[in-house]
Structure 1
């Protein structure tokens, strides 16, 4: 080899050595896949450096990778970030690399841009943890329980697997912190829906809704953007003590709009106004003389109100409760007691039903005797009075029954003559 050739070869070697770039932690490099090691990691050659690096299975992607062969093949060129140095020998040392973290860095950049622009992002819920939900937004995001929805959520598992629209509340890439809120999105949507609902809902409309909340005084029904109140008195024609006794959260209901107050954003609703009127056809359902099953609903000083059909109550007057004398209905009846009653009178127009309990009970013997003796005494007295009248002479009956004009005597004259006759008889004696 000539001297010139040796000199040229040395220069080329020096150029090659000088062209080798130094590798530093945090650098973004390109690595060509040289081999797959035991299906657990990828061996790559870092381009432009003359050194190798290792990419563990968990560092291949932000998505879960079960088979390394699905994520990389020999000859692939990957964008990687240098995590740390393995070994101290510069020539033979290698580096720990990650494709996942480089992807995450790009995601963080994208998320930051969305945050600065005030945009929302979408992400699926991957895990339920204490205090909230974990989502996959390309990077790990967290939704605190208080920011999941605009109402209390009892079972967070219901959200697992759902893709939610989320508002970015806090972002800190250096600490891998991403706090998100679904509640803020829901509230904004509901505000728009509320404004639209207040414009379109009108008194008298019959609409569908879903029970959102239950209280002691009524039920709040979601009409799609605004909640309306069904007062406890408007739930059913039957008396309802607690809304929770007849309704459940999430239940679909049909309601009639009673009023809309746009200024106060209040809507009054009724469920019972959509139900059949219970008094319709009452004359056929409860004709006079019919015997019905009923339940005592209320007791007053003058009687008992008994429900014989849902929403139909009749009055058993205190005098119709028992053959025996009672001071108050509470002496013999209790609220909730099931009884049989007889219909005494039906007034559909007035929505009144007169009922009787004692009409279905046999009269006590003492009461029968007393009731029978009264007519007998009256009959005997009448017979005695008739006999006395019959004992009078025909002329006396005629005189007594004749009008004053036909006899020629006044009543005073007749009485005077009787008195004179009585005095004459006394003198003779």
Structure 2
């Protein structure tokens, strides 16, 4: 009996608890919660763009024609547009240095990098310097913009030599070493080939005397594709001798006595440089006596007096 009374009391209290919970969740509060939801638009509905203004092509053209931008402002804007592409010379500004690289601002999205070893310690730039560089890669495998000073120096010098070849102007080069057939000449960054036959108007017996000497040259061959240059010193000498040759021909006559230098020795005689003109001194005219070979009487570069 006692157990039945306890059970009845629990059952009687249960409805009050459920009633309290239901009252706490009021229906009146539901609209407030629903008000937080945003209305979803139908983006496929054609009426969605009814309030958008449509501009015709004619209106755009008329607007562009009416908006005349001052020339100074337009030029200033165009100057900010930099056409950057690989394998070209470009101006840049030094913005940083570290132990390995020199950072250059070329107007690209990131700074370019030059290996510091390309600069000598005496030629190392400082921050703010403007230098001309060669753009090798806009982005390498690591995403870096790779620049080169050495290639920029080469391309700049190559450009100057191209102009010298076109205008046939004289340049100065330093003979640095001897190779088969001629000499190698340093033209500041660029090297050129000087054939042995183009060094002098006279045959040369000892090429080593020209080593480490500066010499006036003219470019006689310029190969753009192979980056190959052939120079000559002989053509410069021939041009200067041409004037002397013309003067000498006017004064020359049979019986004239002239001073000359032995230019070449052959079995049949000696060729004498008379100052722009080569004269042949036959072996029979070298001496009153018998001569087996001209080398018995004269040597190369000997000064002799001859009669025409």
How far apart are the structure 2 equivalents of 1:251 and 1:88?
67
User: Are 2:243 and 1:181 equivalent residues in the alignment?
Assistant: no
In structure 2, stretches of 5+ residues that fail to align are 1-79
2:106 counterpart of 1:44: no
Decide which of 67, 80, 87 is 1:26's aligned counterpart. 87
Q: Distance in 2 between matches of 1:250 and 1:94?
A: 62
Q: Distance in 1 between matches of 2:123 and 2:193?
A: 27
Aligned to 1:70: 122
Q: Which runs of 5+ in 1 are unaligned?
A: 1-18, 61-67, 260-429
Aligned residue pairs total 225
C-alpha distance in structure 2 between counterparts of 1:98 and 1:150, whole Å: 41
TM normalised by structure 1 equals: 0.45
Q: Is the 8 A contact 1:87 1:94 kept in 2?
A: yes
> Where does 1:29-428 land on structure 2 (aligned, <5 Å)?
29-32=91-94, 34-35=96-97, 37=99, 42-49=101-108, 50-57=110-117, 59-60=118-119, 68-75=120-127, 76-84=129-137, 87-89=140-142, 93-138=143-188, 139-253=190-304, 255-257=305-307, 259=308
Report SS of the residue matched to 1:141.
Answer: strand
Assess if the C-alpha contact under 8 Å between 1:33 and 1:72 holds in 2. no
The answer to whether the 8 Å contact 1:31/1:80 transfers is: no
1:115-170 CA distance string (max 9 Å, x none): 23343433222222222222223422222334444454443323323333333232
SS of the counterpart of 1:158? helix
Query: Cα offset for 1:80?
Result: 1.0
Cα distance, 1:175–1:242 mapped onto 2, change above 3 Å: closer
Tell me which residue corresponds to 1:397: none
1:378-406 per-position Cα deviation (integer Å, ceiling 9, x unaligned): xxxxxxxxxxxxxxxxxxxxxxxxxxxxx
Separation (CA, whole Å) in 2 of partners of 1:78 and 1:111: 20
Query: What SS does the corresponding residue of 2:246 show, helix, strand or coil?
Result: helix
> If each structure's strand is expressed as a fraction of its own residues, which one has the higher value?
1
**CA–CA distance in structure 1, aligned partners of residues 84 and 163 of structure 2:** 30
**1:287-320 deviations in Å (ceiling 9; x for gaps):** xxxxxxxxxxxxxxxxxxxxxxxxxxxxxxxxxx
User: In structure 2, what is the Cα distance between the partners aligned to 1:86 and 1:155?
Assistant: 52
- Check whether the contact 1:33–1:42 (CA below 8 A) recurs between aligned residues: no
Residue 121 of structure 2 aligns to a residue whose secondary structure is: helix
TM-score, with structure 2 as normaliser:
0.61
Structure 2 match to 1:264: none
